């Protein structure tokens, strides 16, 4: 099994600080004398804090994603919930290539269906500009040529593509195209 890491976006730690600050304000305000007697506020606070922590975990797992490939068997993206897990025959290995965004603008993510979108970072399921579906882990400040397109064959009409910003795109391409 070979593992390939995605690029980690820079500057997203401020989002964690903001989310945790919001949780701290919710908890601290629960101890205010006027609010302390309102039991429903405690329930809302607990639920909100739980959602904030789940959100932080979800975003962190997408930012630090990896792709595990067992040659001849499977390709698994480890990036939180909703990540694809493919068998070897679902992957169009002849169609795997690096993306040149000047020529391949039609496959750029246009609308997020399920996932995370921060400035400079996109992860999850997206609709592309050409109307197709794609699972994306895309870091805008990644070096040129580090984005890889992986077409996926489906048994149904729901074919999609994966667009991944990899730290070692050439190593991934070499591994996927070996006999």
- Evaluate if pTM is beyond 0.75: no
pLDDT band of residue 81 (cuts 50, 70, 90) is low
Sorted by where each begins, the domain ranges of the chain are 1-179
Higher per-residue confidence, 11 vs 21: 21
Token pair 């690029």 is found at 7
Q: Over pLDDT 70: what percentage of the chain? A: 87
Higher per-residue confidence, 130 vs 31: 130
Indicate whether 20 pLDDT > 70.
yes
Q: What is the DSSP string of 87-150?
A: EGGGB-GGG-EE--TTT-GGGSEEEEEEEEEETTEEEEEEEETTS-EEEEEEETTSPTT-EEEE
């Amino acid at each position: 099994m070979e593992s390939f890491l995605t690029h980690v976006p820079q500057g997203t730690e401020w989002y964690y600080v903001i989310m945790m600050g919001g949780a701290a304000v919710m908890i601290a305000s629960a101890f205010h004398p006027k609010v302390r007697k309102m039991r429903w506020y405690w329930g809302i606070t607990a639920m909100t804090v739980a959602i904030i922590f789940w959100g932080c975990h979800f975003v962190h797992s997408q930012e630090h994603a990896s792709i595990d490939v067992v040659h001849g068997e499977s390709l698994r993206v480890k990036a939180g919930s909703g990540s694809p897990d493919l068998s070897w025959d679902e992957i169009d290995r002849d169609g795997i290539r690096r993306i040149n965004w000047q020529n391949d603008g039609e496959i750029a993510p246009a609308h997020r269906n399920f996932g995370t979108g921060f400035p400079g970072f996109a992860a999850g399921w997206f609709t592309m500009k050409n109307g197709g579906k794609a699972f994306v882990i895309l870091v805008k400040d990644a070096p040129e040529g580090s984005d890889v397109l992986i077409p996926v064959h489906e048994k149904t009409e729901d074919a999609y593509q994966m667009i991944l910003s990899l730290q070692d795109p050439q190593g991934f391409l070499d591994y996927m195209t070996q006999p």
